[in-house]
């Protein structure tokens, strides 16, 4: 029985590398793995940078939606009503100005 010397060229690892690098399916799979890893790293980085801000924002939304913070809910409703009243006043002023420009001379109320 003849004993052969195992070299890097004939070794198991070398054959594995040749087969892996020689097949296109392995290369395509490796590309998908790299893309997946890059996306995961980007998501991880974003969570690390914006995690606390995102947590605070979501907690505020949950508190408002569940009514756990009634002062915030009342403030939002009050701001909405104030804005709605201002818009109504602006609309009436615009109608009066339009009537005046059209020659009606008398405004609406």
Q: The pTM is what?
A: 0.33
Summarised one tens digit per residue, pLDDT across range 5-32 is 555 556 777 777 667 666 555 567 778 8
Read off φ and ψ for residue 107, nearest 5 degrees.
Answer: -90, 165
Both 64 and 22 in one domain: the answer is yes
Q: Rounded distance, CA 85 to CA 87, Å? A: 5
Domain hosting 97: range is 69-109
Predicted confidence at residue 89, as pLDDT, reads 94
Q: What is the C-alpha separation between 82 and 75, in angstroms, rounded?
A: 10
Quote the pLDDT of residue 20. 65
Give the tens place of pLDDT for each residue, 51-107: 888 888 888 888 878 877 777 778 888 999 999 999 999 999 999 998 888 876 554
Domain identity same for 77 and 48: no
Q: Do 6 and 32 sit in the same domain of this protein?
A: yes
């Amino acid at each position: 029985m003849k004993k052969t010397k195992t070299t890097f060229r004939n070794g198991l690892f070398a054959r594995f590398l040749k087969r892996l690098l020689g097949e296109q399916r392995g290369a395509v799979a490796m590309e998908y793995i790299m893309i997946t890893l890059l996306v995961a790293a980007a998501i991880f980085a974003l969570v690390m940078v914006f995690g606390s801000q995102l947590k605070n924002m979501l907690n505020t939304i949950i508190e408002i939606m569940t009514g756990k913070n009634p002062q915030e809910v009342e403030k939002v409703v009050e701001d909405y009503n104030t804005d709605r009243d201002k818009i109504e006043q602006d609309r009436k002023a615009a109608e009066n100005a339009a009537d005046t420009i059209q020659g009606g001379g008398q405004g609406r109320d």
